Amino acid sequence: MGLESKKMIGYTSGVYDLFHVGHLNLLKNAKGLCDHLIVGVTSDELVAYKNKKAVINHSERMEIIRSIRYVDAVVPQNDMDKFKMWERLKFDVMFVGDDWFKSEKWKKLDKQFKDVGVKIIYFPYTEGTSSTLINETLINLRNHK
């Protein structure tokens, strides 16, 4: 019997509203660095904490992400606590945008994850493309008819 190598489980999360190439790049790059990619999709209630409202509802956003070939599993993200998600899923590596890098919140999380052997990989934020920018552009287009 040969030794079976352990599959590397990766995790990332996001709202994924108005899906765009920045989202796709993150998922593609994450999948390239793990064997099994789990993606948490932020619930509508959790989006509301930022005083925002998703254009596309949660179940549809989950279905869009589930359909991406780089994604192996989709879970709802109902809590901002990434460590609680780790306790549930036991992933080996977590992927996040580098816009969070070195924030106080992530410094604490980085240490917490390091203590349990989870590596955090920061991907460059896609400049010039965001759901917020797409939303603002659509609002401007509608207002200037």
DSSP per residue, the chain: -PPPPPPPEEEEEE---S--HHHHHHHHHHHTT-SEEEEEEE-HHHHGGGT---SS-HHHHHHHHHTSTT-SEEEEE--S-HHHHHHHH--SEEEEETTSTT-HHHHHHHHHHHHTT-EEEEEPP-TT--HHHHHHHHHHHHHT-
- Catalytic one among 6, 7, 28, 52? 52
The partner residues of 12 in beta bridges, in order of sequence, read 39
Kindly state the tokens that stand for 37.
Answer: 């990619």
Whether 105 is catalytic: no
Whether 50 is catalytic: yes
- Catalytic one among 6, 7, 28, 50? 50
Q: Which residues are catalytic?
A: 50, 52
